[in-house]
């Protein structure tokens, strides 16, 4: 029994740095708020880790949008091409998914955009679109310096992309050049849209209170409607503009260093962008499984798991995907299911082992959800103060498989947010196909404007 107590103590020591107190979260909230203010200021923008990018989207939908549009969605797991018909009686969509091989996402920009054009042409053929030139909204979910709705200079790749010759270029121009190479004349790009913005817009079509977009999938990011007079980086004082926060990069300037654990440092070091997207690497689907894997290895190393037996398969990068966390954490799921997952990794798990693996998963996903909530708390509190309200009622449009499929992630986000921002009544609405619908809605609003 004494040995068990000692073991429990050692496990707690390993996991303690991953357990955040309310004070920790309050501090993260405050830091996020500070970074937001720095990012919005013209003089201070360059020093902020959250770059608060203007999107040139000035309104959420009013429900009166109409027309037929093409939409592209690049930046998620798959590349998609969609046709979206916005009508008086709602939105109809048709879409195709296309795999972009890693060799292409990490090859040359020319090859990447050629590939995209080939997919568009394939889609137009399949949909029998003939020579119809439809306005196109391009959901491009990487950080861009937007100079207008249809002009977006790529600042940096994230989420495993690294195609050469694209950073510093206008992605609309890159697409148009690819169209020329393919002698495709009917391309009319009217808007570049971040997926957070698409998500906000698509939820906003059904809910006028939706003024925040949140993604927790492969990566994480958020956007919200800001008052123009607070946006120092764009001319004009009137009205509002949606700001793409690019909050995945929060902490890249070192302000979160005491939150990072040794496990986070190892995971970061092995990515193709070490030192970058540090907040994202604590939260999103591309990384949580890896964090868990490294904790498990450390526990084995300390003889606290699997009786200290070496686990060669567990040494393999990415062998423990984030969807395992969802399966393992499902409430009431027999531990046999956990054992089965571990068996596939050639791990013989005892009852205690399975319990501990579950605890590790819970600790990592809870931390992720709470950090996400701390970020959101900074956003809703800023919006409340902007409007001089005692109480803000607002909706967050959300997308991303981790948020949608994990058994407790969304609950943890909502509970923690309630605690950190008690003056805000926040509703979460899951978007369906926000990237596609949202891009079309931005295009629709844009076309109505001309």
Min CB(112)–ligand ADP separation in Å = 16
Q: Out of 151, 177, 321, 425, name the contact with ligand ADP by CB under 6 A.
A: 321
Q: Nearest-CA neighbor of 440 among 89, 171, 191?
A: 191
Angle ∠(289,218,433) on CA atoms, nearest 5: 135
Q: Is 405 in the site for ligand ADP (CB under 6 A)?
A: yes
Q: Is 323 in the site for ligand ADP (CB under 6 A)?
A: yes
Quick one: which segment of 45-53, 298-306, 321-329, 417-425 binds ligand ADP (CB under 6 A)? 321-329
Report yes or no: 324 and 347 within 8 Å, Cβ to Cβ. Answer: no
Please count the residues of the chain: 450
β-partners of residue 170 are: 153
Interaction mask 187-206, ligand ADP, x per CB under 6 A:
--------------------
> Which stretch of DSSP H or E encloses residue 429?
strand 424-430
Measured CA distances, 242 to 129, 149, 169 (Å): 32, 11, 22
Quick one: which segment of 18-26, 56-64, 318-326, 439-447 binds ligand ADP (CB under 6 A)? 318-326
Q: Out of 406, 417, 426, 439, name the contact with ligand ADP by CB under 6 A.
A: 406
Nearer to ligand ADP, 202 or 218 (CB): 218
Min CB(406)–ligand ADP separation in Å = 5
Q: Is 429 in the site for ligand ADP (CB under 6 A)?
A: no
Residues marked as catalytic? 80, 141, 195
Q: Out of 54, 400, 434, 438, name the contact with ligand ADP by CB under 6 A.
A: 400
Pairing assessment for the beta strands 424-430 and 392-399 based on DSSP bridges:
parallel
Report the residue number whose CB is nearest to ligand ADP: 217
Distance CA 77, CA 99 (A): 8
Q: Is 217 in the site for ligand ADP (CB under 6 A)?
A: yes
Q: Is 362 in the site for ligand ADP (CB under 6 A)?
A: no
Residue list 60-99, contact with ligand ADP (CB under 6 A): 76-77
Nearer to ligand ADP, 252 or 280 (CB): 280
Q: Is 326 in the site for ligand ADP (CB under 6 A)?
A: yes
Nearer to ligand ADP, 129 or 330 (CB): 330
Nearer to ligand ADP, 60 or 326 (CB): 326
Min CB(326)–ligand ADP separation in Å = 3
Q: Residue 30: exposed, middle, or buried by beta-carbon count in 10 A (0-12, 13-18, 19+)? A: middle
Residue list 274-293, contact with ligand ADP (CB under 6 A): 285-286
Distance CA 30, CA 133 (A): 48
Count of alpha carbons within 13 angstroms of residue 12, beta-carbon side: 6
DSSP per residue, 222-256: EEEEEEGGG-TTSS--SSEEEEE--GGGTTTTSTT
Nearer to ligand ADP, 65 or 280 (CB): 280
Write down the residue that tokens 């037996």 correspond to: 309
Quick one: which segment of 309-317, 349-357, 400-408, 438-446 binds ligand ADP (CB under 6 A)? 400-408
Tokens standing for 57? Answer: 């989207």
Nearer to ligand ADP, 56 or 403 (CB): 403
Nearer to ligand ADP, 152 or 215 (CB): 215
Distance CA 170, CA 367 (A): 36
Size of the site for ligand ADP (CB under 6 A): 15
Quick one: which segment of 42-50, 90-98, 162-170, 316-324 binds ligand ADP (CB under 6 A)? 316-324
Write down the residue that tokens 């990012």 correspond to: 39
Q: Is 434 in the site for ligand ADP (CB under 6 A)?
A: no
Quick one: which segment of 57-65, 328-336, 401-409, 415-423 binds ligand ADP (CB under 6 A)? 401-409
Distance CA 76, CA 323 (A): 16
> Which stretch of DSSP H or E encloses residue 288?
helix 288-301
Q: Is 20 in the site for ligand ADP (CB under 6 A)?
A: no
Min CB(311)–ligand ADP separation in Å = 21
Three-class DSSP category at 408: coil
Nearer to ligand ADP, 72 or 446 (CB): 72
Tokens standing for 287? Answer: 């990384």
Terminal Cα distance for the chain, rounded: 76
Q: What is the DSSP letter of 351?
A: H
Give residue 77's Cα distance to chain centre: 12
State the residues that interact with ligand ADP by CB under 6 A: 76-77, 217-218, 285-286, 321-323, 326, 400-402, 405-406
């Amino acid at each position: 029994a004494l040995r068990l107590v000692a073991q429990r103590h050692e496990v707690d020591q390993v996991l303690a740095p991953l357990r955040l107190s309310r004070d920790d979260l309050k501090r993260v909230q405050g830091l996020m708020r500070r970074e937001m203010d720095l990012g919005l200021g013209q003089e201070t923008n360059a020093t902020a880790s959250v770059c608060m990018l203007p999107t040139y989207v000035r309104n959420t939908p009013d429900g009166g949008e109409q027309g037929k549009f093409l939409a592209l969605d690049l930046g998620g797991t798959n590349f998609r091409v969609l046709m979206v018909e916005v009508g008086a009686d709602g939105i109809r969509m048709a879409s195709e998914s296309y795999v972009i091989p890693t060799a292409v996402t990490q090859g040359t920009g020319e090859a990447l955009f050629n590939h995209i054009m080939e997919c568009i042409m394939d889609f137009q053929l399949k949909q029998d679109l003939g020579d119809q030139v439809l306005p196109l909204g391009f959901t491009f979910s990487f950080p861009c310096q937007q100079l207008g709705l249809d002009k977006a200079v790529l600042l940096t790749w994230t989420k495993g992309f690294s195609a050469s010759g694209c950073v510093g270029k206008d992605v609309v121009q890159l697409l148009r050049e690819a169209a020329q190479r393919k002698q495709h004349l009917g391309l009319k790009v009217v808007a570049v849209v971040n997926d957070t913005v698409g998500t906000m817009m698509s939820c906003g079509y059904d809910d006028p209170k939706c003024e925040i977009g949140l993604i927790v999938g492969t990566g994480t990011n958020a956007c919200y409607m800001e008052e123009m007079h607070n946006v120092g980086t764009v001319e004009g004082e009137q009205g509002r503009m949606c700001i793409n926060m690019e909050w995945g990069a929060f902490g890249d300037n070192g302000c979160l260093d005491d939150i990072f654990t040794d496990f986070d440092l190892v995971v970061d070091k092995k990515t193709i962008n070490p030192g970058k997207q540090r907040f994202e690497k604590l939260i999103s689907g591309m990384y949580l499984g890896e964090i868990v894997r490294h904790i498990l290895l450390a526990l084995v190393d300390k003889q606290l798991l699997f009786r200290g037996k070496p686990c060669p398969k567990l040494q393999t990068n990415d062998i423990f995907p984030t969807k395992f966390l969802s399966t393992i954490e499902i409430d009431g799921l027999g531990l046999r299911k956990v054992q089965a997952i571990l068996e596939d990794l050639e791990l013989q798990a005892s009852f205690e082992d399975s319990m501990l693996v579950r605890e590790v998963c819970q600790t990592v996903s809870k931390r992720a959800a709470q950090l996400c909530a701390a970020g959101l708390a900074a956003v809703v509190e800023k919006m409340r103060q902007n409007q001089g309200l005692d109480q803000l009622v607002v909706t967050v449009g959300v997308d991303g498989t981790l948020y949608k499929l994990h058994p407790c992630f969304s609950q943890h986000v909502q509970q923690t947010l309630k605690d950190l921002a008690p003056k805000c009544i926040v509703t979460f609405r899951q978007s369906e196909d926000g990237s596609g619908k949202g891009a079309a809605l931005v295009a629709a609003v844009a076309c109505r404007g001309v």
